Chains A and B, each alone.
Chain A
């Protein structure tokens, strides 16, 4: 008991159970209308206890109950073969592959742009406004155009979706890395100057290692919105597989349980990706603080 109350277990469980309780209250509240309508149509009345029990097991609830969502997820993640078109693992992998490719391209692109901005005044003045402007365009508007334009020049499949992820994910990398590469203080830069170090030497020995904490913070944001980008890329383009397609199909046919389980899968995927970047962050910082040589 003493250990439990000192740790985080009890607070975390408390918050979690409050969320679940609120969820179930909402389930009863939001699904009740349909039950009342059914009863009225049948010319009967419905007891409250019966109502509560019914709202938990509707076929197409307005708000599915937690156990319905998790049963659906269990069914489509664990019980289906992962090659099946009904397996969420299959759909998640389609989305994940676009996410990772887009994230990788976005990271490289973002780093290159930030290096250019930091080293070239003209580039700062000319590129940075476009980088910012690019993010004011709704991704939903530009996604179909990217797909159509790339299709016209013969590129289809994974890459167009990945590029939509790239479009979203390069931005936090640029912003974070510009700040990171400029983070060395004046005396650290002066020191390089007194050694008559070249710009390349200053970059690899000072700017790059200094920017690591900024890079990883940006990567965490970038990987999460890469996933958003991949899902959004699947929505307006008539994709038949991927979590986005699953969401869309669910909403066409009123399959709220399917929508919610796809949403939860996406959330779990995002949390896992962010966690993996976090682990890489910890590892790199540890290397930079414990091993001679650090990061070069």
Chain B
């Protein structure tokens, strides 16, 4: 497999055995992701977008097919701490302050105290939370908590950032703001980002590549390379080009989704 691909999957399938019979969460996924790309996975619930992210993260094992992360198996990549994962809920540890939450992976990975401090300060600045180091999670708003969890994923400088509907629970205004910040962060750090969402505008606004998926079995129905420029003000969402891509995503979703059930 080619070495410069961050993620490369071939005929990847995953079937969950449940009491109601097998569920085909992923079926024949072929996908290549280059370094520095911002890839969104979009589709209705049950299409396997989160499962695919979890396979990359070695949180699920594929049933068949092959996948490499940085040219390694997902398990090797996880052992080398190749990625940072941002969950749907911020899942900050409530008994730790924000800085201690961000230091958590650093403690586990054995960074020195001074290195921890330096990295915590740097990532806090990156997500614009500098004044909140000593606060506890419950003292922060939902959007700030999610930013703290992004900082936690960034703290150990993984080249790959996996984000599972990180802004799903936030209101539209906060979400717009965080989307802008995320793009800026991506621009500054040049990381590869895999981003799961169920919002079409979010996917189109953020991505260089949009992977449209459909359920039963979970499969890829369309892969759209975005033609939008790298610098994207929020207003770009009213441009004809943006609307054209959004239209194609919607078509892709409609084609793959049966409304009978």
Q: Taking beta carbons and an 8 Å cutoff, which residues of A are in contact with B?
A: 185, 187-188, 190-197, 201, 205-206, 209, 212, 288-290, 292-295
Partner pick for A195 among B81, B93, B96, B138, CB 8 A cutoff:
B81
**B-to-A contact residues, CB < 8 Å:** 57-59, 78-79, 81, 83-85, 87-89, 91, 93-97, 99-100, 104-105, 107-109, 134, 136, 138
Instruction: Indicate the member of B59, B84, B89, B95 with the most A CB atoms within 10 Å.
Output: B95
A188 to B101 CA separation, bound complex (whole angstroms): 12
**The one of B58, B85, B136 that contacts A191, using a Cβ cutoff of 8 Å:** B85
Beta-carbon contact of B81 and A193 below 8 Å:
no
Contact, CB under 8 Å: B87 / A191: yes
Q: Using Cβ atoms and an 8 Å threshold, which residues of chain B touch A188?
A: 91, 93
Provide the residues of chain A in CB contact with B83, threshold 8 Å. 194
Q: Which one of B59, B95, B138 lies within 8 Å of A194 (CB-CB)?
A: B59
- Asked if A289 and B95 sit within 8 Å, CB to CB, the answer is yes
Q: Are B95 and A196 in contact (CB under 8 A)?
A: no
Q: CB-CB < 8 A to A288: which residues of B?
A: 94-95
| Interfacial chain B residues near A192, Cβ < 8 Å | 108
In the complex, chain B residues whose CB is within 8 Å of the CB of A185: 91
User: Are A205 and B88 in contact (CB-based, < 8 A)?
Assistant: no
Contacts known (A194-B78, A289-B136); A294 close to B91, Cβ less than 8 A: no
A206 touches B97 (CB 8 A): no
Contact A292 B100 (CB under 8 A): yes
Across-interface contacts of B59 in A (CB, < 8 A)? 190, 193-194
Q: Cα distance A82–B176 when bound, in Å?
A: 73
Which residue of chain A has its CB nearest to the CB of B59? Answer: A190
Which residues of chain A are within 8 angstroms of B78 by Cβ–Cβ distance?
193-194, 196
The binding surface of chain B is classed by DSSP as loop
Closest 10 CB pairs of A and B: A294-B95, A288-B95, A187-B91, A194-B85, A187-B87, A292-B97, A197-B108, A195-B108, A209-B95, A195-B105
Residues of A near B81 (CB, < 8 A) are 195-196
The distance in angstroms between the C-alpha atoms of A274 and B211, with both chains bound, is 58
Residues from chain B with a CB closer than 8 A to the CB of A193 are 58-59, 78
Q: Does B91 lie within 8 Å of A191, measured CB to CB?
A: yes
Known pairs A201-B108, A205-B107, A292-B100. 11 more at Cβ < 8 A? A187-B88, A188-B91, A188-B93, A193-B58, A194-B78, A194-B84, A195-B81, A197-B108, A289-B138, A292-B99, A293-B100
**CB-based nearest B residue for A206:** B93
Residue of A nearest to B57 (CB): A194
Which residues does chain B contribute within 8 Å of A289, judged by CB atoms? 94-95, 136, 138
Inter-subunit contact B99/A196 (CB<8 Å): no
Q: Provide the bound-state CA to CA distance between A196 and B108, in Å.
A: 8
Q: In the bound complex, do residue B109 and residue A195 qualify as a contact, i.e. CB atoms below 8 Å apart?
A: yes
- In angstroms, how far is the closest chain A Cβ from the Cβ of B183? 24
Asked if A294 and B87 sit within 8 Å, CB to CB, the answer is no
* CB of B50 to closest CB in A, whole Å: 11
Which of A188, A190, A205, A292 has the most chain B CB within a 10 Å cutoff?
A292
Q: How far is the CA of A205 from the CA of B59 in the complex (A)?
A: 20
Most buried by B among A185, A187, A201: A187
Q: Identify 7 residue pairs between A and B in the complex whose beta-carbon atoms are under 8 Å apart, listed by A's number.
A: A190-B87, A193-B59, A193-B78, A196-B78, A205-B107, A205-B108, A289-B136
A197 contact set on B, CB distance < 8 A: 108
- Closest residue of A by beta carbon distance from B152: A191
A294, B81: Cα distance in complex, Å = 26
